[in-house]
C-alpha cells in the first residue's frame, strides 16, 4: 500500500467542501493531479492544491491507497465521502460528513469529528478517537435510509440523533450519547458504554441498543421484558431487557411480532 500525505498549509477562510479527498479519487494520480482536484470554498470553485501540500505516492487502486491528512482541517467537510476501499488517517479534528456514504475501507480520525459522520454508511470502518457530533451513522436530511452496514467506534462521546433511521451495521460509543438514540431505526446495533439521556429508541421498529450506564428518562413506549445475562463487546453482565417502541408498527416473523430491543446493564 502506498501512502500520500496531504498537509493543510493555507487554511480556507470559508468552509471547504472537499469530497474529492478519498482513496477512490486519489488512486492512480500524481501529486500534481491531486492538487488540481476540484473543491468548493464556500460557493466558489477552487482546487485542493491551493490549501494542501501533497507528498508521497498513491496506489493504482483505492485499496492500495492510504491518505494521511495533517494540519488543521477543522474547516474541511466530506473527508472520505463515498470511499469504497483503502485507508485514511485524519490527524486532527475535522468538520461535517466524515466517511458519509462510505461503502468500504478504513478511516481513523484522531481528533473530534462534527455532525453527520458516516451518513448512510454501507460498509467499512470508521474509528473516532475523540468525540463525534450529532447524526452519527444517521440518514441524510429527509431520507429514511441511515447506516446499513459497517462499523463505527467512538472512543469519546457522541451527540444527539446517533443511528437515526439505522437499518444495519454496528456503532460502539465508549462515552456518553445525547438525546434521540436510534430514532426510527429498523435494524442494526448500538452499544453505549457510558450514559444516555432521553428518547432512547423513540419510534424504533427493529434493531438493538445496549446501554452500560444510565438512561436519564426512559421512553414510555418500551416495555420491561425480564432480565438476561449477556456478553456484549467482550463484557459479561446482567441486563434489563425492554421491547418497543410499542407505539410503532412492527413486522411479524413466523407469527411473532418483532420488536426493537433495549438492554440496560444492571
- 139 vs 196, beta carbon nearer other proteins: 139
Shortest CB 249 distance to other proteins, Å = 7
Alpha carbon separation from 92 to 31, 70, 73, 226, 237 (Å, rounded) = 22, 7, 7, 44, 35
Give the footprint of other proteins on residues 187-206 (CB under 8 A). Answer: none
Shortest CB 68 distance to other proteins, Å = 28
Shortest CB 183 distance to other proteins, Å = 14
- 143 vs 227, beta carbon nearer other proteins: 143
CB atoms within 10 A of CB 143: 12
The x, y and z cell numbers of residue 117, run together, are 459522520
Interface with other proteins (CB under 8 A), residue total 7
Residue 140 lies near other proteins (rule: CB under 8 A): yes
The x, y and z cell numbers of residue 208, run together, are 438493538
CB atoms within 10 A of CB 77: 22
Shortest CB 64 distance to other proteins, Å = 26
Among 142, 226, 234, 255, binds other proteins (CB under 8 A): 142
Identify which range of 29-37, 103-111, 133-141, 167-175 contacts other proteins by CB under 8 A: 133-141
Q: Does residue 249 come out as left (phi exceeding 0), alpha (psi in the -120 to 50 range) or beta?
A: beta
- Please, what sign has the CA dihedral across residues 69, 73, 76, 82? positive
Query: Cell 482546487, residue?
Result: 47
Identify which range of 71-79, 91-99, 136-144, 167-175 contacts other proteins by CB under 8 A: 136-144
- 27 vs 100, beta carbon nearer other proteins: 100
Shortest CB 159 distance to other proteins, Å = 20
Distance CA 257, CA 244 (A): 11
- 142 vs 234, beta carbon nearer other proteins: 142
Among 144, 224, 233, 238, binds other proteins (CB under 8 A): 144
Among 13, 32, 44, 141, binds other proteins (CB under 8 A): 141
Give the footprint of other proteins on residues 224-263 (CB under 8 A). Answer: 249
Q: How many CA atoms lie within 13 A of 201 on its CB side?
A: 34
Find out whether 88 and 94 touch, Cβ atoms under 8 Å.
no
Alpha carbon separation from 198 to 155, 222, 240 (Å, rounded) = 21, 12, 17
CB burial of residue 29 (10 Å; 0-12, 13-18, 19+): middle
- 59 vs 188, beta carbon nearer other proteins: 188
Find out whether 158 and 131 touch, Cβ atoms under 8 Å.
yes
Identify which range of 59-67, 138-146, 150-158, 193-201 contacts other proteins by CB under 8 A: 138-146
Q: What angle do CA 41, 133, 100 make, to 5 degrees?
A: 60
Identify which range of 4-12, 121-129, 141-149, 234-242 contacts other proteins by CB under 8 A: 141-149
Q: Residue numbers of the site for other proteins (CB under 8 A)?
A: 139-144, 249
Amino acid at each position: 500500500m502506498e501512502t500520500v500525505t496531504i498537509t493543510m498549509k493555507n487554511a480556507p477562510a470559508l468552509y471547504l467542501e472537499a469530497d474529492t479527498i478519498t482513496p477512490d479519487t486519489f488512486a492512480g494520480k500524481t501529486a500534481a493531479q491531486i492538487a488540481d482536484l476540484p473543491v468548493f470554498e464556500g460557493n466558489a470553485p477552487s482546487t485542493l492544491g491551493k490549501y494542501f501540500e501533497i507528498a508521497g505516492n498513491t496506489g493504482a487502486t483505492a485499496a492500495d491507497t492510504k491518505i494521511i491528512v495533517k494540519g488543521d482541517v477543522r474547516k474541511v467537510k466530506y473527508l472520505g465521502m463515498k470511499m469504497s476501499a483503502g485507508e485514511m488517517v485524519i490527524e486532527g479534528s475535522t468538520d461535517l460528513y466524515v466517511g458519509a456514504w462510505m461503502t468500504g475501507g478504513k478511516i481513523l480520525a484522531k481528533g473530534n469529528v462534527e455532525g453527520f459522520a458516516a451518513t448512510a454508511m454501507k460498509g467499512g470502518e470508521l474509528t473516532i478517537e475523540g468525540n463525534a457530533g450529532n447524526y452519527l451513522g444517521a440518514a441524510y436530511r429527509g431520507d429514511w435510509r441511515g447506516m446499513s452496514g459497517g462499523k463505527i467506534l467512538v472512543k469519546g462521546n457522541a451527540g444527539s440523533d446517533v443511528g437515526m433511521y439505522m437499518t444495519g451495521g454496528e456503532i460502539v460509543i465508549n462515552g456518553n450519547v445525547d438525546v434521540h438514540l436510534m430514532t426510527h431505526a429498523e435494524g442494526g446495533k448500538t452499544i453505549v458504554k457510558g450514559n444516555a439521556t432521553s428518547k432512547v429508541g423513540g419510534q424504533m421498529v427493529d434493531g438493538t441498543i445496549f446501554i452500560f450506564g444510565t438512561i436519564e428518562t426512559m421512553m414510555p413506549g418500551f416495555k420491561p421484558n425480564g432480565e438476561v445475562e449477556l456478553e456484549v463487546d467482550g463484557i459479561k453482565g446482567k441486563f434489563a431487557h425492554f421491547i418497543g417502541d410499542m407505539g410503532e408498527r412492527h413486522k411479524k416473523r413466523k407469527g411473532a411480532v418483532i420488536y426493537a430491543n433495549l438492554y440496560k446493564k444492571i
